[in-house]
Amino acid sequence: MSSLRDILKNEIKARGPITVSRYMAQALGHDEFGYYMRQDPFGTDGDFITAPEISQMFGEIIGVWVAVVWQALGQPNPFNLIELGPGRGTLMSDAVRAAEKMPGFEDAVRVTFVETSPALKEVQKQTMAGLFAMPAWRDSFSDVDADFAGCPSIILANEFFDALPIDQYEKADDGWHHRLINWADGENGEAGGFVFALGEILEDESVIPPDLRIAPPGALFEHCASGAKIISEIATHIQTNSGAALIFDYGHVEPGIGETLQALKAHEFFDPLKSPGEADLTAHVDFSLLGDTAAKVGTQVFGPVPQGAFLSRLGLRQRADKLILNATPEQIQEIETAYARLVDADQMGTLFKALCLASPGLGLPPWSG
Ligand SMILES: C[S@@+](CC[C@H](N)C(=O)[O-])C[C@H]1O[C@@H](n2cnc3c(N)ncnc32)[C@H](O)[C@@H]1O
C-alpha cells in the first residue's frame, strides 16, 4: 500500500469522502508522495510522452511563433517568456534556440518557468544549462503576475491544463450531485480501496452549462475550477501588460457529458483510484471554459484549432523537410514518424488543440495570414 493511499484513506475515515479535485491534487502534487513531486515521468521509459519529447521540431516551430509574436509586439526589451508546467524544459530549450536567430531576441528575453515539482525543476535546470536564457522559477502564475508585471509577456503551456484537478458532478433522479471519493473496507480478508460515491445535491447548478442540466440520470459533468482561475489570471496579465499565450492540450471544443478522468502508467491506462501518486492522472481540457473565461476579461481568443492544422500552418512540414536534407535513412524514418505523430488525425493531430490569447489589436500567426 502506498503511503499516499494511507494518507487519503485516513483523511476520508476521519472527515468523510473527498472531492475528485482534492484526490487529484494530492495524487499529483502532494509534497512528498505526489506523482510529479517525486520523479521525471516522461519518455519511452516513463509513463507517457509529450509533443516536445517526440521531436525537436515541435519546440522549434513554437520558437518561430514566439519570435514572430515578439516582432508583432514591437520587439520589446525586456519581455517575459513564461512557460507553465515545462516538464523537462525541452520545449523551451528548442524554442529559444530557434528564436535566438532573430536579432535582438537573445538580449530581450527573460524566461520564467511556472513549476511545482522540485524533481522536474532539477531536470529543467540541466536542460537549460548552457543556453543564454537561464530561467527564473515560480510556483504559481499568481507569483509571476506579481513579480514580472510591467513588460509584455509571451506565455506557453503544453499539456499543463490537463494536469489540473477537476471536480465531477453526477445527475441522479433528484438532480445534480457532487461526485466524491470514499474508502470501502475490504471484506473476507480482501484489501479495501477507493470508490466513487454520490455526494450532496448541488444547491447551485451554475457550474453545469444550462443546456447540459437536463441530461438524464447517470450523466457526469467535469469542471476544472483551477484551470478557469489560471486562464483568467493569464488573460488579465496579457490585457494589462500586453502579450499573447499559446496553449496546447487534448480536450473538447464544447463542454459535454462524460467522464475523461484517466490514469496512465508505463504508457497503459490504469485505474485512477488504484494507487494515488503512482500513475499520471489527467482529464480532457474543456477549451470552451478556457476561451470563454479569457474572452470575459477582454483578450482576443483564437481557436482552438486542431494541433495538426496549427503546426502545418506554421510550417512543420517545411521544417521536417529541412532536417531530412542532412539526415541518414534511419533519421529520415524517425523524422517522418515524429511528424506523423504530431499532425496525423489518428495520432495527436486532432485530439490535441491549440488555443491562443492575445492583447487587443495584436495580429498573430497563423490567424493573421
Ligand atoms: C504533463 S506535464 C507536461 C510537461 C511539458 N509541458 C511537456 O510538454 O513535456 C505537466 C507539467 O505541469 C507541472 N504541473 C502540474 N501541476 C502544476 C501546477 N499546479 N502548477 C505548476 N506546474 C504544475 C508538472 O510538474 C509538469 O511539469
Indicate which CATH number applies to the domain containing 263: 3.40.50.12710
Nearest residue (CA) to ligand 1, atom 13: 85
| Residue at which a domain ends, from 205, 222, 239 | 222
Q: What's residue 190's pLDDT?
A: 86
- Alpha-carbon distances, residue 91 vs 20, 60, 252, 333 (angstroms): 30, 8, 23, 22
Q: Is the CB of 163 under 6 A from ligand 1?
A: yes
Q: Is residue 193 within 8 Å of residue 271, measured between CB atoms?
A: no
Closest CA to 177 of 207, 209, 137: 207
Q: Is residue 24 part of a domain?
A: yes
Cis bond before residue 217 (omega within 30° of 0): no
- Residue 299 carries which side chain, given as an amino acid letter? T
Both 247 and 351 in one domain: the answer is yes
Distance CA 20, CA 38 (A): 21
Asked if residue 250 belongs to a domain, the reply is yes
Mutate to test the pocket of ligand 1, among 39, 160, 262 (most ligand atoms within 8 A of CB): 160
Instruction: Supply the pTM of this predicted model.
Output: 0.95
Q: Are 74 and 145 part of one and the same domain?
A: yes
Residue whose CA is at the smallest distance from ligand 1 atom 24: 85
Q: Has residue 366 been placed in a domain? A: no
CA distance linking residue 173 with residue 189, whole number of Å: 35
Query: How far, in Å, CA of 335 to CA of 147, rounded?
Result: 40
Q: Indicate the residue among 198, 222, 246 that finishes a domain.
A: 222
In this structure, are 119 and 215 located in the same domain?
A: no
Which has the closest alpha carbon to 42: 152, 120, 96, 127?
A: 120
**284 and 206 housed in the same domain:** no
Domain match, 119 and 197 both: no
127 ligand 1 Cβ < 6 A: no
Q: What is the mean pLDDT of each run of 10 residues along the chain (369 residues)?
A: 86 97 97 85 75 96 96 96 97 96 95 95 94 90 82 97 98 97 90 95 96 97 98 96 97 95 89 93 97 97 96 96 95 97 95 96 80
Retrieve residue 224's grid coordinates: 476544472
Instruction: Give me the domain span that covers residue 8.
Output: 3-30+166-222
**Strands 175-184 and 193-201, bridge-based pairing:** antiparallel
Start-to-end Cα distance in the chain: 55
Predicted local distance difference test score (pLDDT) of residue 189: 81
- pLDDT value at residue 369: 53
CB of 85 closer than 6 angstroms to any ligand 1 atom:
yes
Q: Are residues 141 and 52 in the same domain?
A: yes
- Counted domains in the chain: 2
Based on the fold, state whether residues 183 and 255 are members of the same structural domain.
no
Q: Indicate whether 363 belongs to any domain.
A: no
- 300 and 341 housed in the same domain: yes
Indicate whether 365 belongs to any domain. no
pLDDT confidence of residue 201:
97
pLDDT of residue 43: 62
Q: How far is the CA of 324 from the centre of ligand 1 (A)?
A: 31
Both 280 and 245 in one domain: the answer is: yes
* Ligand 1 centroid, distance to 296 Cα (angstroms): 26
Q: Distances from the Cα of 340 to the Cαs of 21, 57, 201, 251, 346, in angstroms?
A: 34, 12, 46, 19, 9
